[in-house]
Amino acid sequence: MIRYFAYGSNLSPREMETVTRHARFYALARLPDHALDFTRMSQRRGGGVADIVPRRGSDVWGVVYELPESALPDLDRKEGAPSAYRRTDVQVEMEPGIVEEVLTYVVASREGPFTPSEDYKRLLVEGARHWGLPESYQQFLESIATHTEPIGGRELRVEATRDRRASQGEYVVRLSRDAARDILGSRDRHVAVVHEGKAALCKLVRVRNDALPLDVCELDQTVRGIIGIGRDPEGTRVTLFRVRGRLTGFPGVAPRHLLLESSSPLREEAEKNIVLLAEQNLRLIGVQEGEYVKLTALVEQEDGYRVRSIVRRAFVPRLREHLEPEEPRKIARSVYLDADARDALGLSGGVYERPVLISPAVWSLFSSRMIFYGVSAFLGFAALNAITSVVYEGNDWLTVLVAVVLALVFTSVFAWLDLRGKLRY
């Protein structure tokens, strides 16, 4: 077991549960000759994030959790180690005269100081109250100055999407051009839409400035539902952030995407390297049982949101004879991932019901049909060779070359039309 000293957002038990369900409270602890500071700007947190810096005569209070070594990768991922934060050992006092060396995280490259957001400060105050840290330290945390507007993101009022013609099978968020320019980069095509800790990946559609106010975004109903807004978005606000990482696709093919909640399969169905999807969801994205799908999720890190994608074969879950009334509905809105898949997507550590984007794995489907396309190319070459031998009589090399080029061109067009017809939204 490892003992970990939490002094920042992980003071909040609610926040710590998103990392691992196996963390157990061990003791209150004081780190002497250090001070709490905010030396890193976090895009995801919308302001400065906590750090401990040496300062004689000052104390930092926190809690020591006990957790298994297997939870360390999840903790590293949450803290953005080693780029955002790095591990270090510190000597903390848990009771008068009882000092112990424990693990903690400090900012890897200090800047600032920066002002934290109100939401981030609330996690620190919430944790201090929950664990009963000294009253004077709670008052110190409550006195920290904050700002309400997220930095690196912006809160926008939500309205229902009125025009989905630009979606091409993806879930969209629509912004005025000026709002998109202020919040995001000019080349950004996708954005993280965040509400109450849930983040969904959406395609960004820029509209005329006179079509939407600067403080409004239009959001698809499915996205609203999966991040906890519901059918009527009146008065609700979300925060938009840039995302890191690339989303790759197959040229000229725009398949349908599904946004589903991640869940853990039943023990008897928890096979390796597969995912379980409802049959109607497989049909919606044009994939048959046993074919490959692409799963994409947003990973929360201290420096923002990062896209992670994996490819897995998809199967339909086996249904029990007697289902609870809510079970068919849950199956339809869920994707069931084994532990390896959750870990690869950054959804391990007990983090369930997080949005996962599902789409056909077009490149994998293309590869699986290579024999079919190869036979088509061979037959095309044979037919074209017979034709070109008449046109270029007496020039065997030119005949073969022209036939090969034409066969490859025709086969490529045929393969593209085949995939496009099978998968296009």
Cα 125 from chain centroid (whole Å): 27
Measure the CA–CA gap between 328 and 281, rounded to whole angstroms. 13
Do residues 332 and 280 lie in contact, with contact meaning Cβ atoms separated by under 8 Å? yes
Helix (H) or strand (E) holding 261: strand 258-263
Per-residue DSSP letter, 138: H
Per-position DSSP letters for 160-212, written without gaps between them: E-S--TT-TTS-EEEEEHHHHHHHS-TT--EEEEEETTEEEEEEEEEE-TTTS
Return the closest-CA partner of residue 64 out of 34, 32, 102, 35: 102
3-state class (DSSP) for residue 348: coil
Triad 337, 339, 341: Cα angle to 5°: 55
Would you say how long the chain is, in residues? Answer: 425
Sign of CA dihedral 168, 173, 178, 182: negative
Helix (H) or strand (E) holding 363: helix 362-368
Q: How far apart, in Å, are the Cα atoms of 80 and each of 74, 76, 112, 254, 300? A: 10, 6, 18, 33, 9
Measure the CA–CA gap between 93 and 379, rounded to whole angstroms. 78
Supply the Cα-derived Rg of the chain in whole angstroms. Answer: 27
User: How many CA atoms, within 13 angstroms, populate the side-chain half-sphere of residue 204?
Assistant: 22
Helices marked H in 310-361: 327-332, 339-344
Return the closest-CA partner of residue 116 out of 106, 128, 129, 125: 125
Measure the CA–CA gap between 332 and 278, rounded to whole angstroms. 5
Catalytic residue among 15, 69, 79, 159: 79
User: Is 111 a catalytic site residue?
Assistant: no
Contacts (Cβ under 8 Å, ≥6 apart) of 20 = 67, 71, 74, 75, 349, 350
**Residues that are catalytic:** 79
